């Protein structure tokens, strides 16, 4: 059984095993809670999840008989080809006059089949966003995907799903040797980021790329040993291209896709850097629909700051695809934020004003 304070079961509590047909919940915060159940046979084979039920703690609640109309899919049109590394899905603006967009979220799902029983992507955006960008390396090249969208209100009531449409992905960057690294980003025999006296291109436990800034970054899985690093690619530091001030990221960002054996597995990995990270640098993760997010609570730099270890989880922390599917997709890189000159100038002016006021007070006292 799982229960959570949201209908998407983000950070859900899992209770297992249950040997009775009832369960007494611990004290919960006031508000709406959601729960679901699945069954396991003696061999450990799992059924599908039950329908989601809800309960309200502390009174209140919502009438989910009144829900918004489903979204209208707009782009890509049925059968269109999209860029494999940066596909953009779009719906028409909200037309239901009984709802305000600030009261709704949008849930976007991408799947290999139209049954949506094994998701490739599951993303939730605030304020009824009309577009969704797929995370880097989340889609496979030359592949057909189904997609759908629905509205979810802030109190958990959802619209029906939109109609299902499909799109094809393009071929993507050339990878002639099929090692999961774009040929134009391959490093040469002189690169040894893990400093073990063996060229990184000659090792099977590390994948290195030449970044878009001319440096190098490498990715290596620490654990679990049965996880597979399928692909690595460099990308620009401005992951959403929104014109906002960015941390100083000398090496840009690196994306990678890991396949784990068990659904929900966590993985520990190391990012190797060709440049020593600034002593105030943090690890940032790119969400293409939000921007750069500080990931320092799940990362630790080495003593010499030439590598950083991070923890990610299938369908959980750090996984950009948002669903438990034995695939972990991450785009990350080190950076340090320096306030813009205007902010520094304001700080100086404020400091000088404080000094002037203090001197004035002292002079008046004398």
- Report the pLDDT value the prediction gives residue 348, as an integer from 0 to 100: 41
Give a three-class secondary structure readout of 220-285: EEEECCCCEEEEEEEECCCCCCCCCCCCECCCCEEEEEEECCCCCCEEEEEEEECCCCCCCCEEEE
- Report the pLDDT value the prediction gives residue 105, as an integer from 0 to 100: 85
Written as six digits, the tokens of 224 are: 């679990």
Q: Does domain 73-169 have CATH number 3.40.630.30?
A: no
24 Cβ neighbours under 8 A, 6+ residues apart: none
218 Cβ neighbours under 8 A, 6+ residues apart: 193, 194, 200, 206, 207, 208, 209, 271, 272
- Report the pLDDT value the prediction gives residue 347, as an integer from 0 to 100: 41
Q: Does the predicted model carry a pTM greater than 0.85?
A: no
- Report the pLDDT value the prediction gives residue 178, as an integer from 0 to 100: 92
pLDDT means per 10 residues, the chain with 366 residues, are 84 75 67 83 74 68 67 95 94 80 84 94 84 95 96 78 96 92 96 95 95 95 96 86 75 96 95 95 92 91 96 93 95 85 46 42 43
How many CB atoms are closer than 10 A to CB 259?
A: 17
Domain locations along the chain = 1-61, 73-169, 183-335, 340-366
Q: If you search the block for the tokens 């785009």, which residue do you land on?
A: 331
- Report the pLDDT value the prediction gives residue 344, as an integer from 0 to 100: 43
């Amino acid at each position: 059984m799982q229960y959570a304070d949201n209908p998407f079961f983000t950070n859900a509590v899992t209770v297992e095993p249950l040997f009775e047909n009832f369960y007494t919940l611990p004290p919960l915060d006031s508000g709406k809670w959601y729960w679901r159940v699945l069954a396991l046979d003696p061999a450990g084979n799992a059924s599908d999840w039950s329908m989601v039920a809800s309960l309200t703690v502390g009174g209140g609640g919502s009438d989910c008989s009144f829900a918004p109309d489903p979204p209208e899919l707009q782009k890509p049109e049925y059968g269109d080809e999209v860029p494999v590394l940066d596909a953009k899905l779009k719906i028409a603006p909200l037309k239901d006059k009984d709802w305000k967009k600030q009261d709704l979220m949008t849930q976007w799902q991408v799947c290999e089949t139209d049954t949506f029983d094994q998701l490739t992507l599951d993303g939730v955006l605030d304020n009824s966003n009309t577009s969704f960008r797929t995370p880097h390396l989340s889609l496979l090249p030359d592949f057909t995907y189904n997609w759908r969208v629905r509205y979810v209100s802030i109190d958990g009531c959802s619209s029906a799903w939109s109609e299902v449409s499909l799109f094809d992905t393009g071929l993507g960057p050339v990878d002639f040797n099929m090692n999961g690294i774009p040929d134009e980003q391959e490093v040469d025999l002189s690169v040894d980021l893990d400093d073990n006296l063996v060229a990184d291109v000659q090792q099977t436990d590390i994948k290195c790329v030449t970044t878009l800034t001319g440096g190098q970054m490498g990715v290596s899985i620490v654990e679990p040993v049965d996880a597979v690093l399928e692909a690595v690619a460099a990308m620009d530091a401005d992951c959403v291209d929104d014109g906002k001030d960015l941390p100083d990221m000398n090496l840009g960002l690196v994306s990678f896709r890991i396949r784990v054996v068990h659904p929900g597995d966590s993985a520990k990995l190391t990012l190797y850097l060709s440049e020593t990270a600034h002593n105030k640098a943090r690890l940032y993760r790119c969400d293409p629909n939000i921007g750069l997010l500080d990931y320092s609570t799940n990362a630790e730099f080495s003593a010499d700051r030439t590598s950083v270890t991070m923890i990610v989880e299938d369908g959980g922390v750090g996984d950009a695809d948002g669903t438990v599917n034995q695939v972990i997709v991450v785009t990350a890189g080190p950076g340090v934020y320096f306030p813009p000159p205007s902010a520094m100038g304001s700080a100086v002016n404020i400091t000088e004003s404080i000094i002037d006021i203090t001197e004035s007070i002292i002079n008046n006292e004398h």
